[in-house]
A and B are shown apart, each in its own frame.
Chain A
Amino acid sequence: MNELIREQFPILHQEVNGHPLVYLDNAATSQKPRVVLDALRHYYEYDNSNVHRGVHTLGTRATDAYEGAREKIARFINASRSEEIVFTRGTTTALNLVASSYGGPRLQPGDEIVVTPMEHHSNLIPWQQLALRTGATLKYIPLQPDGNIDLADVEKVINDNTKIVSVVYVSNVLGVVNPVKEIAEIAHRHGAIMVVDGAQSTPHMKVDVQDLDCDFYALSSHKMCGPTGFGALYGKRKLLAQMEPIEFGGEMINDVGLYESDWKDAPWRFEGGTPIISGAVGLGAAIDFLSEIGMDKIEAHEAHLANYAMERMSQIEGIKIYGPAKRKVGIVTFNLEGVHPHDLATVLDTYGVAIRAGHHCCQPLMRWLEASSTARASFYLYNNEQDVDRLIEALVLTKEYFGDAT
């Protein structure tokens, strides 16, 4: 990675509180490159129109851009066809769609849903609610002391009563990459479906849904250089075809009578109303941008930064780092002894360093870590070693500040 990539992100070139911005909150949301900003502007300036309706030129352009994005996403995660990509508002909506549309009519008391304690609330609450509504039981795969999942535990938790297994691919707190391919194999052996929360994996590594053999895979645009409010659900064609829509009206209809109606095929049956067309345009541009750089290169770059950060952090006395000792992804979660993470984040902010502090929408995991909250630095393709150095420098100053304040 080099300065040329950084150059393409206008937001990075500003001062915050009198210091050059160091943005290390990428697991919350990523910044947008100029090509994405330009694509959004171009769409609204030249092509804005509703999709699948207008027979005029702009309508055709908008529809091409919208459906073109579907093909780009399909290729990006190696779905076998673009009809397996349902557009949603993001990962949360995608997972809720699976829980409601697939799970709702199929689960009953005695059935089991399996998750892990490291799930983001988006991949936990929809299953809690589904269990409460259907009488199914929610079960947890335990975590090893370093936060990893042991497949022997997976074998113990998943059984013939299991109907749905839903696991995050990359933890937004621990930085672990879960063995979702192996878990999918175990789930399928017992007749369960495998759902993957890909919010934190899609932006940072090469994803192949066919190789993982997952049944559903959810992703968000805004964490991968695209606009907010947009995302996608990958679903195996056979499963999507069996599912009923959960939102009715507008674009999703096939034929409407006075008292009964029927729906388009998947994926369009799940996309009621005027969709987020600019979201598709922006995500399409983001995917082109990321693909051109190469996901393997991005992954290697971030792993290098995370391991460099952990190595330097571990030299600061009183730092506790959560998760495995070596990272494949660019997320480092930590605490500085004697300094609450919110205080830490405020002090770092005064040095222009943006990190996240809190429970990271993972309250059950925080309890498991026995921390009320933690600080988190998360990297992306535009970060560099200098950003890590600035973080370390600010951490040392924070430690001194709170050491002296007493």
Chain B
Amino acid sequence: MQLDDLYRRVIMDHYKNQRNRGTFEDGAMTVELNNPTCGDRISLQLQVEDNKVVDAKFSGDGCSISMSSASMMTEAIKGKTYAEALELADRFSSLMKGEEVEFAEYEEIEALSGVNKFPARIKCATLAWNALRKGIGEDSLDN
């Protein structure tokens, strides 16, 4: 196992300088999700308009993989429609299965590809994405 596959510089950068960390004052859709096996928690907030993610923020506590994944995910989904955001989430799942996937919109996500060599850590990487699916999945059902 090569540690550098897991902890690439770009991941550590997102961990130390988390993008979109914080909360909106009001009016945002909030999704809370935790990983009961390890205690990691995330609260994802989305500003949505007409089935579109206008802006995103997150807060919570977790390891470098879960937090950097959340940081990248919130960057990637800004301005995306629900359908586009869900498609990104599907591609992220493929990445975790070890498939070759490109994220032209936000290439940094590809740095997380090494996580698939550390099966115990896949749940860390998918936490924020699962919160996204839960949030916009339930919101689309309402409409």
Residues of A within 8 A of B118 (CB): 346
- Tell me the chain B residues, 21-35 only, with Cβ under 8 Å from chain A: none
A359 to B118, CA, bound (A): 20
* Beta-carbon contact of A401 and B7 below 8 Å: yes
User: Are A373's CB and B64's CB within 8 A?
Assistant: no
In the bound complex, residues from chain A placing their C-beta under 8 Å from that of B9 are 405
Q: Which of A350, A357, A401, A406 contacts B38 (CB 8 A)?
A: A357
- Tell me whether A61 is interfacial, beta carbon within 8 Å: no
Interface centre among A340, A359, A366 (most CB of B within 10 A): A340
Which residues of A (341-375) have their CB < 8 Å from a CB of B?
341-343, 346-347, 349-350, 357-359, 363, 366, 372-373
Closest Cβ of chain B: how far from A17's Cβ, in Å? 5
Residues on the B chain within 8 Å of A343, using CB: 7, 63-65
Interface residues of B in 9-55 (CB under 8 A from A): 9, 12-13, 16, 37-41
CA distance A343 to B38 in the complex (A): 12
Closest B residue, CB atoms, query A373: B39
Min Cβ gap A335→B in Å is 12
Which residues does chain B contribute within 8 Å of A401, judged by CB atoms? Answer: 3, 7
A340 to B118, CA, bound (A): 16
Instruction: Report which of B1, B13, B16, B65 forms a contact with A342, defined as CB distance below 8 A.
Output: B65
- In the complex, which of the residues B9, B39, B65 has the most CB atoms of chain A within 10 Å of its own CB atom? B39
Interface check B132, CB cutoff 8 A: no
CB of B34, distance to nearest CB on chain A (Å): 10
| A side interface size, CB within 8 A | 20
Which residues on A sit within 8 Å (CB–CB) of B102? none
CB contacts (< 8 Å) of A402 on chain B: these are: 7, 12
Q: Report yes or no: B1 in contact with A358, Cβ–Cβ below 8 A.
A: no
Choose among A346, A350, A357 the residue with the greatest number of B CB atoms under 10 Å from its CB. A346
- B62 near A340 with CB under 8 A, answer yes
- Highest count of chain B CB atoms <10 Å: which of A343, A350, A359, A402: A343
Contact A350 B121 (CB under 8 A): no
Query: Can you list 15 A-B contacts with CB-CB less than 8 angstroms, sorted by A residue number?
Result: A340-B62, A342-B62, A343-B63, A343-B64, A343-B65, A346-B118, A346-B121, A347-B3, A349-B1, A358-B37, A359-B38, A363-B39, A366-B39, A401-B7, A405-B7
**Apart from A342-B63, A359-B39, 10 more pairs, CB < 8 Å:** A342-B124, A343-B63, A346-B121, A347-B3, A359-B38, A372-B41, A373-B39, A405-B9, A406-B12, A406-B16
Residues of A with Cβ closer than 8 Å to B? 17, 340-343, 346-347, 349-350, 357-359, 363, 366, 372-373, 401-402, 405-406
